[in-house]
Amino acid sequence: MRRRDLIAASLAVPALATATMADAEDKPATGASLGIAGVGLPIISGGRIRNYVFVSLRLHLGGAATPESMRPKEAYLRDALVRAGHRTPFVIEDDWTRLDTAALSASLMRSAASIAGRGAVTRVEIISQAPRRRTGVRAG
C-alpha cells in the first residue's frame, strides 16, 4: 500500500469515529445492558464441591435503569449470585462442567428486583461458562 493512502486513511478514521459518536448521542439509548464477567460458581454434588464454573453475564436493563446507575450495584448483584450458588447450586445432574442457565437467570432476576428495583433488569443473558476442570468430572 502506498504511503499516501495510509496517511489519508489515518486522517479519515478519527473524523468518521467522531461523526458516528455524534449520531449515537442524538439517538436515545435503547437496549441498554450491563456486563458482569468472571463470577465463579460452585458445582456441588453429594455435599462436596466438585468443580467451579466461571460465568460471564449480560443484564438487559429496562425502565429508567442505565449502565451508569447500575454499575455501583454490580458488587451487590455478584454477591447475591454467589450466595445463591452456594445455597442452592445451579447444578445439571449429569454434567459438572455446566450450570443450569434457567435457574441461574431466575435467581438473579429475583435478586435484581430487590437490589435495583422491580423492572430495572428485564433479562439475564449467560454469555459464557468456563469450567475450571474440563475432563473427568462427569457424574457417574
pLDDT digit string (tens) for 71-109?
A: 999 999 999 999 999 998 899 888 889 999 999 999 999
Spatial separation of the C-alpha atoms in residues 79 and 77, rounded to whole Å? 5
User: pLDDT tens-digit profile of 17-33?
Assistant: 444 444 545 444 457 99
Q: Is 45 helix (H, G, I), strand (E, B) or coil?
A: strand
Phi first, then psi: what are they for 96, rounded to 5°? Answer: -95, 15
Cell of 73: 450495584
Contact in structure between 82 and 59 (CB atoms under 8 Å)? no
Q: Tally helices (H) and strands (E) across the chain.
A: 4, 5
Beta-ladder partners of 135: none
